[in-house]
Amino acid sequence: MQRTQRPPVDDANPTFWPGRKVPETHKALLWQCLNDDPTCPSRLVLHALAETQVQISVTLRHINRLRKAWGLNRGKGRRRRAGAQKKSASQGKAVSVTPRLSCVGVHVFAHWLDQQHAFDPVVAQLIQAIQA
């Protein structure tokens, strides 16, 4: 099931119910900020309201509740980059390979080390230790 976001309120003057914590004039100012840029994060709206001359005592949680009530809430998650493919889109058939050897990576690494002659100094020191 896919969640859908309600379209922004087109009403120029929505009805603001009287609240206990935030007066109607402050709600109107908040609605104007949210309606100007509905994609703006609530934290930035809170900072913008703090910079105004009018002291509005509102919390981040209250802004988010009003956003939802007015249909101006943002979608969850990060924005998608333009032209980005979905991860679930199949690029082709998946190939499943079952190795005949257990720990095949160790064998490949040992073969590479042998080609690089990395064991030669170790073997020489072991032979000296055995002879001593």
Burial of 63 (0-12, 13-18, 19+ CB in 10 A): buried
The reply to whether 4 falls in a domain is yes
pLDDT in tens, 88-128: 556 667 777 776 666 667 777 888 888 888 888 888 999 99
The reply to whether 95 falls in a domain is no
The reply to whether 93 falls in a domain is no
The reply to whether 111 falls in a domain is no
Q: Which of 1-15, 72-86, 112-126 has the lowest mean pLDDT?
A: 1-15
Find the domain containing 67 and state its range: 1-76
The reply to whether 12 falls in a domain is yes
The reply to whether 89 falls in a domain is no
Q: Please state the rounded mean pLDDT for residues 8-21.
A: 55
pTM above 0.85, yes or no: no
Structural domains counted in the chain: 1
The reply to whether 67 falls in a domain is yes
pLDDT at position 95 is 75
- Asked whether the predicted pLDDT for residue 18 surpasses 70, the reply is no
